[in-house]
């Protein structure tokens, strides 16, 4: 088995470049009248912004920041949902060498306070009154924070007014002073395995992986008028990276969507060519289609079409020719099922990109089988988001692809995935010991993830070192594959395996309230049952048991789920069981539901 792989080639980042160069290089190549961004002005209506207008607002905001006393290296927080002002301010900060310290829009006042103080933030800009008030409530406990602006109160207009006192020459001098190895941002990890740490990322870190993306998946992010509807939080490196890819391409357009309340109609009206999401997004799309099909004839057709799609995808991967019957069925299912599912993601959709957490192979094969390439990637905040990615013409489902040109991945003796490349962060802010611990003696980043490499260098993630369950009988179990299988049940939101130092493996199950409301009437039950009521229904338990039984068939008895509990609440950011990027925080789940675990899973096995 291969232990180390480096993708041939390299990408070039000049020492005098910054993230702002992505915008100016695009204007130099394509002119200043190409469409670059859109934002929604009314249901079904989008305002298009040209590169000239976007650039003008970036420069005006940059001048305003200088007028406010923001110097090179000063930290500025963007505490906002995903909107065009975020993108404009991000480029303005990059242009003058200020450090963007984003905060997730869902973070509490105390979480924001910790980040602001740790990063010594001088200026904060929020999007609305709610987040402004959160910062106002902790303002007196943030000694370095001088002021808070609000986008909804015309923060960009205020910066434009202040900036008239700054000359073009002064602005240009600031722009010229910024270099590739200067600090661009401090991004605080979402804390799924511990307290958040501030990862220091340079301009070079992001520029190298953006240009690597153009080499790896140009068909998706650069070619043929790509359109991206961006709704993931820009505080997350994954979303921010793809924003940079779109803006740095010749004619890409990024649509900024602050929330997902009207996501499906927004997808239809904006018409993205590719969509970026975490696994839960694509699970919900699949489950919604399944629930819409119901239990009758349409349901049976959907079930057959699902199996056929997966088989079709596997045949494509293996290079197998379909039989005449399979080809005829594929054409029929295209009309009856596949076209409508693709249409739910917009009329122009060509690719879907998934990252942030593992996606089940069955779901990836389903999307590929209905005609949507599922591009998967792997990375961390510490690698400026993606480090490996599957290619359009080398899309090995089950893997997360290969590194970008010049990037290296290796598997340590204990199975840990380790990385090296120009996009690897430089340090954790104010945490020299943690920084030293995360790098090996020869300079490789320790990811904490477990994986393997095939002979062509395709990486497969198999679990996390800290997630490994060691039962009382000494069996080592990676919970992720089983959890993925159980979560394919349409009414399941999350499945978390329990069993460390226990006599057997159990599971905590949370219910998907939206899917449940559609599923319950098909079983003769009221659609408005509460989660607590639904958790007690025998039909609900029987449905989940079917998926657990199916998952158990693929593992040994020691690895199988013997008992499970359906919780009467969900994992949320409020109870700290979910990170802002929707990862389950396992230690917190075990803590919050400790009594439930003891009482319902192991009461008779102490």
Residues 6+ apart with CB under 8 A from 441: none
Model confidence over 496-548: pLDDT tens digits? 999 887 889 999 999 999 889 989 998 999 999 999 999 999 999 999 999 99
Report the 10 Å Cβ neighbour count for 324: 7
Rounded to 10 degrees, the C-alpha dihedral 377/205/62/167 comes to -150
Same CATH topology for 279-465 and 468-601: the answer is no
The topology under which CATH files domain 19-277 is: Rossmann fold (3.40.50)
Spatial distance between the Cα atoms of 355 and 573, rounded to a whole number of angstroms: 19
Nearest CA-CA partner of 79 in 96, 61, 101, 62: 101
404 secondary structure, DSSP code: P
Q: What is the pLDDT of residue 10?
A: 93
In this structure, the number of other CB atoms found within 10 A of the CB of residue 396 comes to 17
* pLDDT mean over 369-382: 93
pLDDT, residue 604, reads: 46
* Cα 310 to Cα 228, 264, 369, 397, distances in angstroms: 26, 24, 6, 11
Given a contact cutoff of 8 angstroms between Cβ atoms, the answer to whether 353 and 377 are in contact is: yes
The first and second tokens of residue 202, run together, are 């340079």
* Beta-sheet pairing, 351-354 with 373-380: parallel
CATH 1.10.340.30 at 279-465, yes or no: no
Percent of the chain with pLDDT over 90: 78
101 touches 115 (CB < 8 A): yes
Q: What is the pLDDT of residues 253-308, one digit of tens each?
A: 999 999 988 988 999 999 999 999 888 788 888 888 887 887 788 889 999 999 99
Task: Enter the CATH code of domain 468-601.
Answer: 3.30.300.30
Location of structure tokens 């090296």 = 420
Can you give the residue ranges of every domain in the chain? 19-277, 279-465, 468-601
**For all residues of the chain together, what is the average pLDDT?**
93
Q: Are strands 227-230 and 253-256 parallel, antiparallel or unpaired?
A: parallel
Q: What is the pTM (predicted TM-score) of this model?
A: 0.86
Rounded to 10 degrees, what is the CA torsion of 332, 338, 340, 345? -160
And the tokens for 344?
Answer: 């739910």
Pick from 347, 450, 454: nearest CA to 390: 454
DSSP secondary structure code for residue 337 in this structure? I
Here the tokens at position 392 are 């359009």
Of residues 485, 463, 497, 498, the one with CA closest to residue 548: 485
Angstrom distances, CA of residue 469 to CA of 358, 413, 496, 506, 567: 18, 19, 11, 11, 21
Average pLDDT for residues 314-318, to the nearest whole number? Answer: 89
């Amino acid at each position: 088995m291969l232990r180390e792989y480096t993708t041939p080639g390299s990408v070039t980042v000049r020492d005098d470049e910054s993230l702002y160069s992505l915008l100016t290089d695009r204007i130099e190549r394509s002119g200043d009248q190409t469409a670059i961004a859109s934002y929604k002005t009314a249901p079904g209506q989008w305002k298009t912004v040209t590169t000239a207008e976007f650039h003008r607002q970036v420069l005006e905001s940059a001048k305003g920041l200088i007028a406010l006393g923001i110097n090179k290296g000063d930290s500025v927080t963007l505490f906002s949902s995903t909107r065009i002002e975020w993108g404009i301010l991000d480029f303005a900060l990059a242009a003058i060498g200020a450090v963007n310290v984003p905060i997730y829009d869902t973070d509490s006042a105390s979480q924001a306070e910790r980040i602001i103080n740790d990063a010594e933030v001088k200026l904060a800009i929020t999007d609305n009154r709610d987040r402004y008030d959160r910062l106002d409530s902790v303002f007196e406990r943030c000694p370095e924070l001088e002021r808070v602006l609000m986008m909804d109160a015309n923060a960009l207009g205020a910066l434009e007014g202040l900036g008239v006192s700054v000359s073009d020459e002064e602005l240009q001098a600031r722009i010229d002073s910024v270099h590739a190895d200067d600090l661009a941002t401090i991004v605080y990890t979402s804390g799924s395995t511990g307290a958040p740490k501030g990862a220091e990322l340079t301009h070079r870190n992001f520029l190298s992986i953006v240009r690597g993306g153009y080499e790896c998946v140009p068909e998706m992010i650069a070619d043929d008028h790509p359109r991206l509807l961006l709704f993931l939080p820009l505080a997350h490196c994954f979303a921010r990276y793809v924003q940079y890819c779109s803006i740095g391409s010749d004619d890409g357009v990024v649509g900024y969507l602050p929330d997902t309340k009207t996501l499906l109609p927004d997808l239809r009206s904006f018409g993205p060519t590719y969509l970026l999401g975490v696994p839960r997004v694509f699970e919900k799309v699949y489950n919604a289609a399944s629930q819409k099909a119901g239990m009758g004839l349409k349901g049976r057709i959907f079930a057959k079409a699902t199996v056929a799609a997966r088989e079709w995808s596997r045949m494509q991967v293996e290079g197998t020719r379909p039989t005449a019957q399979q080809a005829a069925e594929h054409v029929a299912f295209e009309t009856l099922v596949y076209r409508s599912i693709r249409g739910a993601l917009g009329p122009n959709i060509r690719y879907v990109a998934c990252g942030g957490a593992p996606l089940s192979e069955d779901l990836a094969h389903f999307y590929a089988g209905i005609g949507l390439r599922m591009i998967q990637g792997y990375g961390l905040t510490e690698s400026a988001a993606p480090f490996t990615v599957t290619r359009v013409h080398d899309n090995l489902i089950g893997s997360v692809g290969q590194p970008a040109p010049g990037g290296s991945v290796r598997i340590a003796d204990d199975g840990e995935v380790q990385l090296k490349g120009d996009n690897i962060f430089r340090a954790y802010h104010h945490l020299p010991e943690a920084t030293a611990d995360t790098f090996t003696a020869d300079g490789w980043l320790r990811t904490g993830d477990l994986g393997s490499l095939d002979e062509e260098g395709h990486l497969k993630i198999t679990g996390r070192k800290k997630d490994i369950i060691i039962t009382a009988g000494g069996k080592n179990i990676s919970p992720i594959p089983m959890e993925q299988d159980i979560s394919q049940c349409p009414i399941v939101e999350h499945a978390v395996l329990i069993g460390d130092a226990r006599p057997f493996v159990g599971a905590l199950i949370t219910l998907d309230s939206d899917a449940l409301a559609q599923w319950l009437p098909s079983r003769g039950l009221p659609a408005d049952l509460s989660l607590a009521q639904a958790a007690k229904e025998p039909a609900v338990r029987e449905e989940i048991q079917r998926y657990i039984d199916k998952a158990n068939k693929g593992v040994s008895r020691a690895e199988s789920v013997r008992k499970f509990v359906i919780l009467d609440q969900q994992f949320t950011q409020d109870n700290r069981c979910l990170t802002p990027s929707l990862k389950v925080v396992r230690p917190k789940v075990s803590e919050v539901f400790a009594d439930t675990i003891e009482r319902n899973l192991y009461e008779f096995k102490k």
